[in-house]
Amino acid sequence: MKAVPVSYCALPIPFREARKICARTVRFTRHGELMKKPRVLIVEDEFITAMDLQTQLEDLGYLVNGRVQSAEEALSLVRSQPFDLILMDIMLRGEKTGIEAASEIRSEFRTPVIYLTATTAPQLLAQAKTSEPFGFLMKPFQKNELRANIEMALYKHEIDEGLRKNEEKYRQLVELADDAIAVVQDDVLKFTNSRVANLSGYSQTELRSAKFLNFIHPDDLDMVKDSHTRRLQGEELPSSYPARIVLKDGSTKWVEFRAIQIEWEERPAILVFFTDITKRKEAEVASENYKNQLEELVAKRTAKLEQEIYERKCIEENLRQAKENALQSKDLAEAANIAKSAFVANMSHELRTPLNGILGYAQILQCDPQLNEEQRAQIDIIRTSGEHLLILLNDILDLSKLEAEKLKLQETAFYLSDILKPLIHMVQLETRKKGLHFEYEKSPGLLYAFHGDAMRLRQVLFNLLGNAVKFTEEGMVSFRVRRAADHEPDSASAASRQLAICFEVEDTGVGIPPEQREKIFTPFSQYAGSRLYTEGPGLGLTLCQRLLHLMGSTLQVSSTQGQGSLFWFRLLLTEIKDTDIDT
């Protein structure tokens, strides 16, 4: 059956109905730009089902550009005109199935496909997943299910295309980098840029999946292997070290390795930057040789003074050139480091930009009064996932600043209650969702204004309370704020005095065994002995401890496995007059 063109009735219609039709002919992109209606292809061998589906799509505001009954017709039509979405029945007339057609379409055009099927056979569904569909619709389905699946598929396709373009852009940046760059996982080269091929003499095909240690000079093999092993085990090592590599023609070169542990396809790996320092090494050897020659010439005290002076000048000139070469190599290395830092900063910016767009669009969608509960739940998943990713990105940036000693406290005047009230409200909501009991206790005399970094104190308490709720399945979470009993306030000044405030967060969760208590303050570490769902990268307690150290305090823990944990710290805050706070 040939593709059925879409026709429209020429009979006069009321103005109000015409306006509704016109309103359905336009859509907006997530950036607010005007675009045409999505073009949809229906691939369905049941004529009545296909006609009913076309009517539903047109009522929903989509443009049905074609309707065919076989996989062969679908492939022919897709190759002759573009489509934004394809609704594909799995079982079709003809020699090919809908799954085979969808696989070819995805590989050639990347057009999103939603399967229509009335069967739930596991083998068939498993086969369908191999073609990377954008959704499944089980017959019969409702109009709202149809719209939700289509909108989600179009949105996911738009996001995938954006990520693909960003990935291509980052790949181009890596290819244009001055350094040779490689990713090593399980001693296998998982990725290399063109600079690695130029440096080693091997082609990209030869480098792909090759053993990294096969390129290392035998005299340096143990050192490089030991460095990679210890780095993957989390040991802190110098980021750069020199070694020799063996080229394809059998010659050797000196390179400076700068290695960083990363995640590659959700597994630990090493990101390696190569810098050719052969000339610098040769200059160092030449410098040492020239120095020895100079000492030998002075020791011999040759009879010919002019010859001695001439040779001395030659040696000094060679030394000068060697030093210049060494300085140039140093400048090149520093420039490469600057370029690397700029690349990381740009990558961080590129991550934030689409993430903020996703969060903003999700917030706009939540304001739509026409959304049903299922749609609101789906949008809420997008929003909460984006917010979680943004918090993760901020935690990583904060940790980087702390490690570089660039994070400074922003001390201002604040009321303690302004920090505690939002936190208490948040914990009450979360504990109510999980069916937990929440207890909050605060000393009645803590109604003072203090001077300190309110934002960082809020961040520490937010992480501690969030962990308590997350790792507690039944029982209670307690939060206590009180004046430390062993501290007497300094009353030397009438305008201000220092008070020691004790903050305690206690839960009846899984608890932490003694051998795990030190590890929980290590970056990217979590106690994995629990059967609970433990999401997150393991940065919360690390950030809390380092921020408290910056504020002159220490986070302490007391825990019994299977019974719960108590985290507490004592913070010295300066009490000030209310008049010192801007109103």
Query: Could you tell me if 569 and 554 are in contact, meaning their C-beta atoms sit under 8 angstroms apart?
Result: yes
In a domain, 383, yes or no: yes
Q: How far is CA 228 from CA 135, 217, 271, in A?
A: 42, 15, 10
CA angle, corner 51, sides to 46 and 56, nearest 5?
125
In a domain, 291, yes or no: no
Whether residues 215 and 264 fall in one domain = yes
pLDDT of residue 524: 63
Question: Rounded mean pLDDT of 313-331?
Answer: 84
- More confident call, 444 vs 473: 473
227-240: b (≥16 Cβ within 10 Å) or e: bbeebbeeeeeeee
Query: Could you tell me if 114 and 89 are in contact, meaning their C-beta atoms sit under 8 angstroms apart?
Result: no
Whether residues 260 and 312 fall in one domain = no
Whether residues 457 and 544 fall in one domain = yes
In a domain, 4, yes or no: no
DSSP character string of 542-569: HHHHHHHHHTT---EEEEETTTEEEEEE
Distance of alpha carbon 294 from alpha carbon 64, whole angstroms: 87
Ranking 91-95, 381-385, 444-448, 533-537 by mean pLDDT, the lowest is 533-537
Whether residues 321 and 194 fall in one domain = no
Whether residues 367 and 457 fall in one domain = no
In a domain, 93, yes or no: yes
In a domain, 281, yes or no: no
What is the crossing angle of helices 143-176 and 47-59, to 10°? 80
CATH of the domain at 214: 3.30.450.20
- More confident call, 104 vs 347: 104
Q: Is the pLDDT of residue 213 over 80?
A: yes
Omega of the bond prior to 140 within 30 degrees of 0, cis?
yes
Domain end: 386, 406, 426, which one? 406
Whether residues 362 and 426 fall in one domain = no
pLDDT of residue 484: 80
Domain end: 371, 406, 441, which one? 406
Distance of alpha carbon 261 from alpha carbon 271, whole angstroms: 6
C-alpha torsion 381→387→393→395, nearest 10: -120
Whether residues 136 and 203 fall in one domain = no
CATH of the domain at 136: 3.40.50.2300
CATH of the domain at 332: 1.10.287
Q: Tokens standing for 561?
A: 């496995």
In a domain, 286, yes or no: no
Q: Tokens standing for 375?
A: 């749609």
Q: How confident is the model at residue 469 (pLDDT cuts 50, 70, 90)?
A: very high
Question: Rounded mean pLDDT of 93-117?
Answer: 80
pLDDT of residue 526: 64
Whether residues 140 and 33 fall in one domain = yes
Percentage of the residues of the chain whose pLDDT score is greater than 90: 9
Question: Rounded mean pLDDT of 527-543?
Answer: 61
- With a threshold of 0.75, does the pTM exceed it? no
* Cα 398 versus chain centre, distance: 15
Whether residues 387 and 454 fall in one domain = no
- More confident call, 281 vs 583: 281
User: Which of 159, 150, 116 has the alpha carbon at shortest distance from 40?
Assistant: 150
Whether residues 162 and 181 fall in one domain = no
Number of domains in the chain: 4
Whether residues 572 and 447 fall in one domain = yes
In a domain, 486, yes or no: yes
Q: Is the pLDDT of residue 478 over 90?
A: yes
Domain end: 276, 309, 341, which one? 276
In a domain, 288, yes or no: no
Q: How confident is the model at residue 400 (pLDDT cuts 50, 70, 90)?
A: low
- More confident call, 560 vs 1: 560
| Structural domain range at position 373 | 301-406
Whether residues 31 and 124 fall in one domain = yes
